[in-house]
Amino acid sequence: GASGQSNRSGSVRCCWARLGRGAERSIAGSRSATATMPAVSKGDGMRGLAVFISDIRNCKSKEAEIKRINKELANIRSKFKGDKALDGYSKKKYVCKLLFIFLLGHDIDFGHMEAVNLLSSNKYTEKQIGYLFISVLVNSNSELIRLINNAIKNDLASRNPTFMCLALHCIANVGSREMAEAFASEIPRILVAGDTMDSVKQSAALCLLRLYKTSPDLVPMGEWTSRVVHLLNDQHMGVVTAAVSLIACLCKKNPDDFKTCVSLAVSRLSRIVSSASTDLQDYTYYFVPAPWLSVKLLRLLQCYPPPEDAAVKGRLVECLETILNKAQEPPKSKKVQHSNAKNAILFEAISLIIHYDSEPNLLVRACNQLGQFLQHRETNLRYLALESMCTLASSEFSHEAVKTHIETVINALKTERDVSVRQRAADLLYAMCDRTNAKQIVSEMLSYLETADYSIREEIVLKVAILAEKYAVDYSWYVDTILNLIRIAGDYVSEEVWYRVIQIVINRDDVQGYAAKTVFEALQAPACHENMVKVGGYILGEFGNLIAGDPRSSPLVQFNLLHSKFHLCSVSTRALLLSTYIKFINLFPETKGTIQEVLRSDSQIRNADVELQQRAVEYLKLSSIASTDVLATVLEEMPPFPERESSILAKLKKKKGPGAGSELDDGKKDPNSEINGGMEPSASTACRTREKACTHSAGPRVCSSAPQSTPSPSADLLGLRAAPVATSGAPASAGNLLVDVFSDSPSATTGLVPGAEENFLSSGAAASVSEDPALPIAEADELLNKFVCKNNGVLFENQLLQIGVKSEFRQNLGRMYLFYGNKTSVQFQSFTPTVSYPGDLQSQLNIQTKAVEPLVEGGAQVQQVLNIECLSDFTEAPLINIKFRYGGTLQNLTLKLPITVNKFFQATEMQSQDFFQRWKQLSLPQQEAQKIFKANHAMDSEVTKAKLLGFGSALLEKVDPNPDNYVGAGIIQTKALQVGCLLRLEPNAQAQMYRLTLRTSKESVSKHLCELLSQQF
């Protein structure tokens, strides 16, 4: 990367990589050799090689090529074995042919000795081909290595700069341990010798760097190290560049041996920065003097603390100010190479300023410069600016300056198309957060979480949890934040997060009543995540008595609310709820009979799970034989937890990797941070029984809001019929309670969830997709029509089975949860749901399905997750076939999945003028579909609006001259294309009729949407 801060590819970083390759690869024989390479005479061209290459290129088939190569190998072998001695030119030509054949992918098992013989030639071209062959074909274990080493030693001792460069290039290219053993002590002497030519010094420095990287223990440190430092003063810029690369590597292991390089590096940097582009004409790249060397010098200075010498430090500060000043100057060229080179130096200078963290003026200036890049049109510059500002935010000198850019960073989080840039924006918000802006940042991160990419959701959850705890002014806000976190991204809330909120509530008396009230309200939502049930069960079990005085949250109401979730939860959550029930018996004696009845039921004391069975039996016995005093002692309120370091922060550090410590630590040292305890309670021995139940089980659940104790054929197992309970702690819309698993990033629309493949079967897998779908049931179309304008509800229900649906769509992606509820007391066996595609649907829709457990216990529910990608517009709905055995009888059911093309609608707001302009543009006959039909339902204005919004379009107010008409607009998002859509619904209340007109940019879409929507009224 240009700044050394990122491995991301991009123009700024690529420019440095490209520039660097030119400088670093001089070791491969380019620069230093050409500097002294003798002229090649006209007769040195190898005509035989040219003819052979031409023959190979003209071969019509692989067989013809192999035949020609075998013929040539036989000819070369006979020449090498012949009695007549070959001259140097012939050896060179044949060795070149062997090398070319090897590069074509064929094995070469002879000719090595002839190549070694070429090393002893006094002709440059012959020696060069010999070294080239050895560098490519000879491995370190070759028997010829001793002969090769002798030839190299002879060339190094010859003092002929051309031959010395060839030998050094060969050593570096082979780079083996044997080479290091033979020459590691010789090369430093050549490097610091006074009579060594510049081209040889350059090659020697890079050769030594290569050997040090492969075998650092074989490169001896000695008196030459101090002399290498003085190469920074060399007149030849190529030597200085190579020397900086070597010193930067060596000083990491032996900083004291090279600390004198700081003043020399500053001096050299000062000369480059203050020079005009004409002063260093040979090393100026698009009007930027020596960009490679400047970046290397700035990186070298980052290996050491700020200079102690005031004069050196002043000169360095002057250099850095000059670099920042030049960044403000208008560009001298519009070419991207100019801006890349200029920005490479700027970002490296900012990295040095951040590294020193001792110059307030420079830090603020650096922050302001980065702030300008936050709105640059180049994505890579925005990424680098955000990344560098994350580090600046931890400095006490620049933290306030970073905070001034909060609105720009929040905007980047919302609008950036590149997911990696959005992630850096989230990192910067986390880094700049303090007590003054915590509520704003936490709110924005929660909002972003609803559309965040799957890969970073858990990290965002951890950051929100840490910030909410660390900067909570009052803990009621903290409780609200964590419960919102569970609502929005329950699947990504780890054990550490919900453990932590429970520990904090237990440790702070002032928030216990509020927490109990809030969690009770949250549990009343028709769909709540299992993590919410865990938190609710724990807190109500401890502090339910604090809200029991209100008739709306009486003890029995609390119990019934929790128990309504019981049958839909995992084993670990059920275990926790059983512990809550026994706590209730202590807190509310009036619930004892009801709870004992539950504990006594066969589904508990004869449960197949040992943990649940043991808890039910022990709790039942305890509640039956223990006196009130014994119960009060055994089931007393949890004691406060002793403080220790927060495990959420530790988890975040682990997730970010070993290099993330500085970014995640309290770099700002907020003086008030300890008030909110960056410390976490640890569980005492007395708490183990309780904690045993608190094991995490991922996966969203749909929870019933109606109390139920035992399943019956008429029971609403999924709670989907219940109306949403509007409370202050829960959204009124059941749809909003879903985990939002969709990203608004265009990059995310090219495929399904990253990493989902390990948990989901592919759409082509035999286990999940049938090529011969069974016919759907007669009422399949009627059931499908119910979901055209809604995403949640009961798809199908009979005496045995209830199938519920929860789904959400964003752009061309969707995720659907199917809940299969067994309404009987008998186990379903071989339970197999299979998705299939009628007609050409497989090329238009891609569905990935998660495997389902084949056994569904009586009264239980299983969940299946479908990831959906719309490839192009479609008219048919996919089918799902459900087969299972009930009492030995095979049950077979095929339904239409509620996936219609309008699910991929993106609502679009438009002004009146824009709407009618677009309406006129879509005036072709095939672009319009119109239908006049009789109303099948009461013509209620609010219901009509709700259906149109549920259909997916935006309702445009004050657009149609007739206020009774409805006008909408939106875009159908598919992977292949986007289809703009405008609609107009004209009701006639007197005639009880509607006229529906749809105009889209695609005929098939117009007709299908018109047909779908007309059936809703």
Is-contact 203 190, C-beta < 8 A?
Answer: no
Provide mean pLDDT across the span 10-25.
Answer: 35
722 vs 496: CA distance, rounded Å: 32
The pLDDT confidence band at residue 643, using thresholds 50, 70 and 90, is low
Angstrom CA distances, 897 to 752, 795, 796, 832, 892, stand at 19, 9, 11, 15, 16
Phi-psi region of 170 (alpha: psi -120 to 50; beta: other; left: phi over 0): alpha
Tokens of 878: 């996919």
Tokens of 358: 């001792």
Interior CA angle at 651 toward 648 and 655, to 5°?
A: 140
Tokens of 840: 């050409």
Percent of the residues in the chain that have a pLDDT greater than 90, as a whole number: 23
The four Cα atoms 168, 173, 177, 180 give a dihedral, to 10 degrees, of 10
Selection from 596, 477, 494, 590 nearest residue 544 by Cα: 590
346 vs 4: CA distance, rounded Å: 11
Is-contact 848 828, C-beta < 8 A?
Answer: no
- Other CB atoms closer than 10 Å to residue 68's CB: what's the count? 15
- Other CB atoms closer than 10 Å to residue 21's CB: what's the count? 10
pLDDT, tens only, 888-902: 788 888 999 999 998
Top mean-pLDDT range of 243-247, 278-282, 796-800: 243-247
Is-contact 679 643, C-beta < 8 A?
Answer: yes
The whole-number pLDDT of residue 616 equals 92
Rg (CA), the chain: 37
The whole-number pLDDT of residue 602 equals 84
649 vs 876: CA distance, rounded Å: 49
Angstrom CA distances, 607 to 87, 503, 615, stand at 92, 31, 10
The pLDDT confidence band at residue 810, using thresholds 50, 70 and 90, is confident
The pLDDT confidence band at residue 45, using thresholds 50, 70 and 90, is low
Selection from 781, 972, 742, 948 nearest residue 877 by Cα: 781
Angstrom CA distances, 408 to 375, 376, 416, 425, 614, stand at 8, 11, 11, 9, 57
The whole-number pLDDT of residue 762 equals 39
Phi-psi region of 787 (alpha: psi -120 to 50; beta: other; left: phi over 0): alpha
Is-contact 450 464, C-beta < 8 A?
Answer: no
The whole-number pLDDT of residue 656 equals 61
Contacts of 88 (CB under 8 A, 6+ apart): 118, 121, 123, 126
Q: If you average pLDDT over every residue of the chain, what do you get? A: 79
pLDDT, tens only, 915-949: 888 888 887 888 888 888 888 888 888 888 888 88
Residue 956 CB-density burial (10 A; 0-12 exposed, 13-18 middle, 19+ buried): buried
- Other CB atoms closer than 10 Å to residue 636's CB: what's the count? 11
The pLDDT confidence band at residue 654, using thresholds 50, 70 and 90, is low
The whole-number pLDDT of residue 29 equals 36
Provide mean pLDDT across the span 823-838.
Answer: 88
Residue 722 has pLDDT above 80, yes or no: no
Is-contact 935 993, C-beta < 8 A?
Answer: yes
Tokens of 178: 């044997």
- Helix, coil or strand: residue 338: helix
Selection from 263, 264, 370, 363 nearest residue 320 by Cα: 363
599 vs 592: CA distance, rounded Å: 10
Q: Which residues pair with 285 in a beta bridge?
A: 288
Tokens of 582: 């026994």
Rounded to 5 degrees, φ, ψ at 958 are: 55, 35
Q: Which residues pair with 934 in a beta bridge?
A: 993
Residue 742 has pLDDT above 50, yes or no: no
Tokens of 940: 């209620």
Provide mean pLDDT across the span 36-59.
Answer: 72
Provide mean pLDDT across the span 469-490.
Answer: 86
270 vs 264: CA distance, rounded Å: 10
Provide mean pLDDT across the span 983-1000.
Answer: 89
Selection from 400, 401, 388, 455 nearest residue 427 by Cα: 388
The whole-number pLDDT of residue 775 equals 81
Residue 615 has pLDDT above 60, yes or no: yes
- Other CB atoms closer than 10 Å to residue 791's CB: what's the count? 18
Long-range pairs for 231-237 at CB < 8 Å and ≥24 separation? Answer: 231/191, 231/192, 231/201, 231/205, 232/261, 232/264, 232/265, 232/267, 232/268, 233/264, 233/267, 233/268, 234/198, 234/201, 236/198, 236/201, 236/202, 237/280, 237/282, 237/283, 237/290, 237/293
Percent of the residues in the chain that have a pLDDT greater than 70, as a whole number: 82
- Helix, coil or strand: residue 643: strand
Tokens of 451: 């559309």
98 vs 46: CA distance, rounded Å: 14
Contacts of 625 (CB under 8 A, 6+ apart): none
Residue 5 has pLDDT above 60, yes or no: no
Residue 734 has pLDDT above 50, yes or no: no
pLDDT, tens only, 743-766: 333 333 333 333 333 344 433 333
137 vs 151: CA distance, rounded Å: 17
The whole-number pLDDT of residue 26 equals 33
Residue 225 has pLDDT above 90, yes or no: no
The pLDDT confidence band at residue 516, using thresholds 50, 70 and 90, is very high
pLDDT, tens only, 262-314: 999 999 899 888 876 566 777 888 888 889 999 999 999 999 898 888 999 99
Interior CA angle at 127 toward 190 and 96, to 5°?
A: 140
Amino acid identity of residue 884, one-letter, is: F
Rounded to 5 degrees, φ, ψ at 774 are: -75, 160
List the helix and strand counts (H, then E) for the chain.
Answer: 42, 19
The pLDDT confidence band at residue 716, using thresholds 50, 70 and 90, is very low
Q: Which residues pair with 973 in a beta bridge?
A: 978
H-helix segments, 3-111:
11-24, 31-36, 47-57, 62-81, 88-103
The whole-number pLDDT of residue 108 equals 86
Selection from 819, 809, 953 nearest residue 868 by Cα: 809
Global model pTM greater than 0.75:
no
Residue 583 has pLDDT above 50, yes or no: yes
Angstrom CA distances, 422 to 386, 406, 415, 752, 810, stand at 9, 14, 8, 19, 18
Residue 910 has pLDDT above 80, yes or no: yes
The whole-number pLDDT of residue 68 equals 92
The whole-number pLDDT of residue 703 equals 33
